[in-house]
Each structure stands twice: as structure tokens, then as C-alpha cells.
Amino acid sequence: MKPVTDIDRSAPVIVRADIEIDAPLEEVWELHSQVSAWPDWFPDIRIAEIDGPFAPGAHITWGAHGYEELFPARIGLIEHQHRTAWDGSNAGIYGIHAFSFTRRGNKIHVETAESWDTNPGPHAVSTLQTFLQNWLSNLKDTAEGICSRKVCRRQPRT
């Protein structure tokens, strides 16, 4: 199977969320790419493991509070400090999850989207929307909190 590079734009379910983070891209990327530390800053995730470096082909296994099963994923794309995408199946749903990171002056615009090949119903889709928005809100709070405790260099690139 070919590694994923983006969500399936023709999927029956596509959920998106975005946020502006007032922290350096390097800080935001560090939080995003340290998979095993996700539960430290995102309380909705109870466990997160990666079988090697944060690189295409690596396998992520993570679990959310309230769900007994684990969610396996395989990284298909990493464009350092710019984009990531991974895919996996759980409970009969094949999903692709992508992130993008864009400098906007001194802030970082983070977008995430997830596509599902099956529509399990409005409750599941609503739960996914809340989960993705919480993921980004916790990323923002953590990155900005780190910067409030230390001097973060904010030098926009052109």
C-alpha cells in the first residue's frame, strides 16, 4: 500500500480544525513530533507510542480516554515543520489524519483534518470534531505556556 500524503478528499467524512499559536514553529513542532509525550499535554490521549523515530514508515499506537481499544497508525508523510500525515484502521473505519503548520508573522497557523472511509453517524463525527479541536487547543496552551516560562525567540521567516 502506498504511503499516505493527505486526507482522502472524496471520503464520506472529513473533519477539520485549525488554530493560531503564539509560539515559535520549532516549539510547536517539537510537541507535535514527540509522540510518546502526547499524553503529557493532551489529557484526552491516555497512551501514545511510536516504534522508532518520527519518520515515514513508523508505526504509532495511541489510545484515547473512554475507548478501550488502541488506534494503530502508520506515518506516510513528514515534511519537517510543515506537514504530516498518517493512516490506520479501527472498528471498521479507515482514517487518514493530516496536519499542516504555517508561519503567519510571529504566530503559527496549525490545521488538522481527518477523513474516514465510512460514516458511522453524526455522534461519531461530532466526537471527532471535538477531539481534533481539543488536540489543537491543548497544543496551543502547551506551546504558549512553555514560551511564557522561558524566552522564546520569535523571528518570522519570509
Question: 153 falls in which pLDDT band (50, 70, 90)?
Answer: low
- pLDDT value at residue 66: 86
Question: 147 falls in which pLDDT band (50, 70, 90)?
Answer: confident
- pLDDT value at residue 144: 95
Query: Could you give the CA distance from residue 104 to residue 155 in angstroms, rounded to a whole number?
Result: 11
Condensed to tens digits (0 to 9), the pLDDT of residues 101-138 reads 999 998 999 999 999 999 999 999 999 999 999 999 99
pTM: predicted TM-score of the whole model, two decimal places: 0.92
Query: Could you give the CA distance from residue 53 to residue 61 in angstroms, rounded to a whole number?
Result: 13
Instruction: Write out the CATH class of domain 13-149.
Output: alpha beta
Other Cβ atoms within 10 Å of 83 Cβ, number: 16
Domain map of the chain by residue range? 13-149
pLDDT(156) > 90: no
The answer for residues whose C-beta is within 8 angstroms of residue 54's C-beta and 6 or more apart is: 33, 34, 35, 75, 78
Condensed to tens digits (0 to 9), the pLDDT of residues 48-94 reads 999 999 999 999 999 998 888 999 999 999 999 999 999 999 989 99
- pLDDT value at residue 158: 41
59-64 β-sheet, strand order:
13-21, 107-116, 93-104, 83-90, 71-79, 59-64, 45-50
